[in-house]
């Protein structure tokens, strides 16, 4: 299943900016975390039923250095220090897919940079079924 996509540029952004200065993003832009630890993007996600879901983050990292982030669901860290390794350049996007447990109704999913480099550039989050978690992540 394709899942439901949520654009980063439409989410709540903390200490980041919305940018369009690289190619191949979806929607109207992407979020640049601006090289600050603690910068974040928080998505408000609707789930029809409670239970396991996949959470796929589409990102670009044109540096040679990892840009790890903590991923929280409804305020609880469910995946600390998730690796967002280098992509070929800032125009090249990869997808990191995690598993998460959602409640029925409204959920908040936040990805927070944990190092001084900030997060990667973030294009979108896609929520799918638990089975999608098994899909290739790169």
Binding footprint of ligand GCU on the chain (CB under 6 A): 19, 21-22, 32, 35, 90, 118, 121
Cβ contact 110:40 at 8 Å: yes
Strand pairing partners for 95? Answer: 58
* Rounded least distance, CB 6 to ligand GCU, Å: 20
* Rounded least distance, CB 36 to ligand GCU, Å: 10
Tokens 């910068």, residue located: 39
Could you tell me where the beta strands, DSSP code E, fall in 2-135? 4-7, 12-14, 17-19, 30-32, 40-47, 51-60, 69-73, 76-82, 94-102, 105-113, 121-129
Of residues 35 and 108, the one with the C-beta less far from ligand GCU: 35
Of residues 120 and 128, the one with the C-beta less far from ligand GCU: 120
Of residues 6 and 90, the one with the C-beta less far from ligand GCU: 90
- Angle, vertex CA 31, rays to CA 70 and CA 72, nearest 5: 20
Of residues 40 and 90, the one with the C-beta less far from ligand GCU: 90
* Rounded least distance, CB 138 to ligand GCU, Å: 19
**Closest residue by beta carbon to ligand GCU:** 32
* Rounded least distance, CB 25 to ligand GCU, Å: 10
Of residues 68 and 118, the one with the C-beta less far from ligand GCU: 118
CA 9/CA 132 separation, integer angstroms = 24
* Rounded least distance, CB 29 to ligand GCU, Å: 11
Q: How far is CA 81 from the centre of its chain?
A: 13
């Amino acid at each position: 299943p394709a899942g439901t996509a949520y654009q980063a540029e439409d989410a709540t952004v903390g200490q980041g900016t919305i940018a369009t200065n690289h190619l191949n993003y979806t929607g109207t832009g992407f979020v640049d975390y601006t090289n600050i630890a603690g910068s974040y993007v928080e998505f408000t996600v609707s789930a029809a039923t409670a239970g396991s879901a996949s959470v796929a983050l589409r990102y670009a990292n044109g540096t040679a250095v990892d840009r790890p982030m903590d991923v929280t669901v409804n305020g609880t860290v469910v995946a600390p220090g998730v690796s967002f390794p280098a992509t070929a350049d800032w125009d090249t996007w990869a997808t990191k897919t995690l598993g998460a447990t959602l409640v029925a109704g409204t959920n908040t999913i936040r990805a927070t940079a944990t190092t001084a480099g900030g997060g990667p550039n973030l294009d979108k989050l896609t929520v799918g079924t638990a089975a999608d978690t098994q899909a290739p992540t790169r």
